[in-house]
Structure 1
Amino acid sequence: MTHLLGKVALVFLFLSSRTPVALAQEAPSAQVMIVGFDHLNQLYNNQPQSDVYSTKKQAELTKLNNCLMEYAPDMILVEVDPSEQSRIDSLYQLFSTDKLSLSEIKEGRSETFQVGFVLAKRLKHKRVYCADHYEATAQSLLAEGENIEVFRQGLQQLQGLARPLKKQVQQDSVSVYDYITRLNQPDLISFTHRLFYNLPAAVVDGEFSKTATNTVDVSKVDKRYIGAEYISLFYNRNLKIYSNALRYQRQYQGKRLLLMFGVTHVGVLQELYRVNPAYELVSPLSYCR
């Protein structure tokens, strides 16, 4: 028995000494840049200066596209559900051959088109990739419970920062370029990540709002851990987005991926990629300063 234990110990020491070396030798096979947006189509408030089609905002978007162009992505992944891929392919085919303008597309103000389509055309890509997993869950879904003020205060803090900034963009006092670079600063990414994937866990013994937008079945949630259940709704969606992105990269062997999603997705997607040794995260701020 002692002899057997000695052999087991030797095997354990052998493996433990070799495993870190093996992991250290594993090199990333692809780079990933994740750019967070406040959806550009939501800037428009029927005032001319808020419209991304205005001459001024088109110039600002050109500046953004120019800096992302320097990264030279070979795959562009957008926040559209894969079920829409054939429609997006058709629109992109028309746009890339100058048979369709963005203003002719119903949702043409969004970053999917203003940035994704424009970049893909300039880079001569064959398509943009639909990598979202569409689920609609309102921030206001978490409505009550013990410690709800922890979450509400965080939400108010974010709104107090984001709403005035968005208004400045709509009034043309802050450029779209500066807006997007601000949204992608590490402090703001960390704050939004903490707000939706950490703080709600403190909320217990509560209920979800009966009127807030939500497309996910929440009839069987454990109300004792209502905040944790709330986090799981957001996290589950992002895991599926991550899975879509992994599938596309492996299938098409992209080496420089550009992911474009709402800013609240960025922190968790960065977290998932950061612990995957097959990928190297690249900050958009390395190119857009």
Structure 2
Amino acid sequence: MTLNYFKAACLTLLITLHFSCNLKEGKSSESETISTNTQTDTVKKTASKIPVLNIGSFHFRFTPDAHKVEFNEEGASEQAEIRALNEMLAKFKPTIICVERTPENEAEINEAYQAYLKNNDKLDSNYGETSMVAFEIARLNGIKKIYGIDHHMEYNYNIGNEMVNSIDSLTYNAYIQNPFAHDPEFNVNPEELSLLDHFKLMNTPKYQDFLMNINADILTYVGSENGFEGADEATKLYQRNLRMFSNINRIPMKSTDRVFILSGGLHAAFIASLMKRSPKYELVDPLAYLK
């Protein structure tokens, strides 16, 4: 038996004995302490996890992404579609709203939000989906502050086309040439969909897996003979989204809070994958509100 194995076995035994003693002595094991940098909040283990409505969106206005959906956010019909969408999502009744903006930009976003509260006859398109969707949902629920959770990192999604691939160029090239071969239902022109149908498509688990695969995981098939250039590039995307998740965890929360998150579809996919395994959060099905 190795020393590490012996230590692990002892740790497991101690945990088991501690739990057994609590039961025998009638001690309550229903509470635990969740600590953040700003507060300590005690919640019951038996209580529900904090519900989260995690919504993936395309970018309404400016986007640094490789692909942009043409969308006239100033059009009367588009404004009406967004208002209808907002009313659906607002029924979640969030107490905390997070958007794809960095914490450093929170002051600017919240200043714009306060201005919108004073004049909301027309949706504010200055910050794309952040101001057109998140601002209105926050207003409808009487929320005073919006949190930024984004974290910027450089990422070269095109590295597979910029180097000689010695790992598995066959799989990579075939996938890039036809990423819809295994998921033909996603081979649609989003500009031909209604706003609601587009959001429904983007917020299904299968589509989120597709986004993670085409933007990150496929790069694990790319690299030099003895290198991991593709995987290392994909790691940056994972790292960025892990840091975004850490930013969510920085927000002071109570067990009674309800969290609404609005971000790009790929970020929403990463956040969903992390939320599913979280001891703190419980994902709410977006399609329960997108109807």
Q: Provide TM-score, normalisation by structure 1.
A: 0.75
Equivalent residue, structure 1, for 2:96:
75
**In 2 relative to 1, CA 137–73 (structure 1 residues): closer, same or farther, beyond 3 Å?**
same
Q: Alignment RMSD, CA only?
A: 3.4
Equivalence for 1:215: none
The answer for the alignment partner of 2:286 in structure 1 is 284
Asked whether the 8 Å contact 1:29–1:278 carries over to 2, the reply is: yes
Which of residues 188, 191, 194 is equivalent to 1:167? 191
Aligned residue among 116, 120, 133 for 2:134: 116
Counterpart residue type for residue 135 of structure 1: M
Distance change in 2, residues 1:74/1:201 (3 Å): same
Checking the alignment, whether the CA contact within 8 Å between 2:221 and 2:230 is kept in structure 1 is yes
TM-superposed CA distance for 1:92, in Å, is 0.8
SS at structure 2 position matched to 1:40: coil
Find the counterpart in structure 2 of residue 137 from structure 1.
155
Q: Is 1:33 the equivalent of 2:36?
A: no
Please point out which of 230, 234, 244 is paired with 1:231.
Answer: 234
Q: Which has the higher helix share?
A: 1
CA deviation map 1:127-178 (0-9, x unaligned): 211110023435324433222453444344458976842232xxxxx21111
Does structure 1 residue 201 correspond to structure 2 residue 214?
Answer: no
Provide the C-alpha distance between the structure 1 equivalents of 2:155 and 2:46, rounded to a whole number of angstroms.
38
Q: What residue in structure 2 maps to residue 4 of structure 1?
A: none
- Residues 255-270 of structure 1: matches in 2 within 5 Å? 255-270=257-272
SS class of match (1:235) = helix
Check whether the contact 2:156–2:233 (CA below 8 A) recurs between aligned residues. no
2:197 to 178, 182, 205: 178
Listed one character per residue, the Cα deviations across residues 238-286 of structure 1 (whole Å, up to 9, x for unaligned) are 0110011111144x77711111111111222112122111111112112
Q: Alpha-carbon deviation of 1:19?
A: 6.8
Distance 1:131 1:274, change over 3 A: same
Contact 2:97 2:261 in 1 (8 A): yes
Residues 1:246 and 2:264 are matched in the alignment? no
Letter in 1 for 2:229: I
Change (3 A) 1:134 1:102: farther
Give the conservation status (yes or no) of the 8 Å contact 2:59–2:69: no
Give me the whole-angstrom Cα distance separating, in 2, the residues matched to 1:19 and 1:189. 39
Give the whole-Å Cα distance in 2 for the aligned partners of 1:114 and 1:232: 32
Partners of 1:76 and 1:258 within 8 A in 2: yes
* Cα separation, partners in 2 of 1:199 and 1:102, compared to 1, 3 Å: same
Deviates more, 1:116-125 or 1:137-146: 137-146
DSSP-derived class of the 2:153 partner: coil
Corresponding residue pairs, total? 254
Q: 1:19 to 1:96 in 2, by over 3 A?
A: same
Equivalent residue for 2:26? none
Q: Is the 8 A contact 1:36 1:262 kept in 2?
A: yes
Once the two structures are TM-superposed, the CA of residue 77 in structure 1 deviates from its matched residue by 0.6
Q: Give structure 2 stretches of 5+ with no counterpart.
A: 1-7, 24-28, 31-44, 63-67
Query: 2: CA distance between counterparts of 1:204 and 1:268?
Result: 23
Alpha-carbon distance between aligned partners in 2 of 1:75 and 1:183, rounded to the nearest angstrom: 22
Change (3 A) 1:96 1:11: closer
SS, match of residue 260 in structure 1: strand
Aligned twin of 1:209: none
SS of the equivalent of 1:41 reads: coil
Whether contact under 8 Å (1:75, 1:254) holds in the other structure is no
TM-score, normalization: structure 2? 0.74
Q: Which residue of 2 aligns with 1:217?
A: none
Identity in percent: 23
